Structure 1
Amino acid sequence: MTPDRWIVTVTGLALIGFIAWFFWLKRSTGFRASDISGGYQEAMILVKGGYTPDTIIVQSGRPVRLNFRREETATCSDKVIFADFQKSADLPTGQTVSVELLPKSPGEFGFGCPMGMFRGKLVVE
């Protein structure tokens, strides 16, 4: 095999490895929701090319308020769905929308856009 074929092969394998890591293997440490008056645990989530932060850590048995701020116009990000809680919310561009939940048991609960391209996780301890 010639040197240029080696370079192309190694570069291609490196890109495949990076894509697999980025989309399936990357784990975020998570953001712990802050306590506010009224007993709520609250977190602000920026919607721009994904959810930032994409992992929110809360305590079970206490109400949670997640504030989503959408800063893009992609149609996939115009709604967030919490399937495990049977909740969803429309996310207009440039506005902050609150979603209130009451997680009763520990576990990991996913949320995301209708197409499944944007994904996040609510970790209940």
Structure 2
Amino acid sequence: MDKLIVLIAGLALIAFILWWFFGHHEVDQAEAKTVADHQAVAIEVNGGYSPERVVLQQGVPATLTFTRTDASSCLDQVVFADFGINQDLPEGQPVAIEINTDQAGDFTWACGMDMFRGQIVIK
């Protein structure tokens, strides 16, 4: 009986791990609001990024404003490797980051430890 319980628990754990790493997860997405030829998106940093995916219009200056409410040291930086940006995110303070939208494409950002990620889509 004990072996059966261990087997079932092991299979359940394997299924959970497969779902966690390979399953399709909904991603919070936002399109930037354009006001006076400038687009802006507010991103909350709390156990990850919300929204995780941001859609921007090509050629229109853009600002992403990150506000970190999570005390985790992993999320105290945001790195945009494609744009050469590595910005500290002090807890409770909004930090505005200007994004160059001259080139269309998909670009990523990540926390300082590269554990949490987000995506910018410039169309």
TM-score (norm 1): 0.82
SS in 2 for 1:92: coil
> 1:100 corresponds to which residue?
98
TM superposition shift of 1:29: 4.7
Question: 1:9-41 CA distances to partner (integer Å, 9 max, x unpaired)?
Answer: 344333333333334443435523332323222
Instruction: Decide whether the 8 Å contact of 2:27 with 2:51 is kept in 1.
Output: no
Which 10-residue stretch deviates more, 22-31 or 66-75?
A: 22-31
2: distance between equivalents of 1:107 and 1:57? 10
Change in CA separation of 1:111 and 1:105 when aligned onto 2, cut-off 3 Å: same
Q: Which amino acid aligns with 2:3?
A: R
> 1:87 corresponds to which residue?
85
Q: Which amino acid aligns with 1:18?
A: F
Change in CA separation of 1:6 and 1:113 when aligned onto 2, cut-off 3 Å: same
> 1:65 corresponds to which residue?
63
> Of 35, 39, 47, which aligns to 2:45?
47
Q: Which amino acid aligns with 1:121?
A: Q
1: distance between equivalents of 2:91 and 2:36? 28
Runs of 4+ in 1 over 6 A off after TM superposition: none
1: distance between equivalents of 2:53 and 2:26? 7
Question: 1:90-110 CA distances to partner (integer Å, 9 max, x unpaired)?
Answer: 100011111110122222111
Instruction: Decide whether the 8 Å contact of 1:33 with 1:41 is kept in 2.
Output: no
Q: Which amino acid aligns with 1:96?
A: P
TM-score (norm 2): 0.83
Question: 1:23-61 CA distances to partner (integer Å, 9 max, x unpaired)?
Answer: 444343552333232322211111111111111111222
Q: Which amino acid aligns with 2:96?
A: S
Q: Which amino acid aligns with 2:116?
A: F
Change in CA separation of 1:114 and 1:14 when aligned onto 2, cut-off 3 Å: same
> 1:124 corresponds to which residue?
122
SS in 2 for 1:13: helix
Over aligned residues, Cα RMSD in angstroms? Answer: 2.0
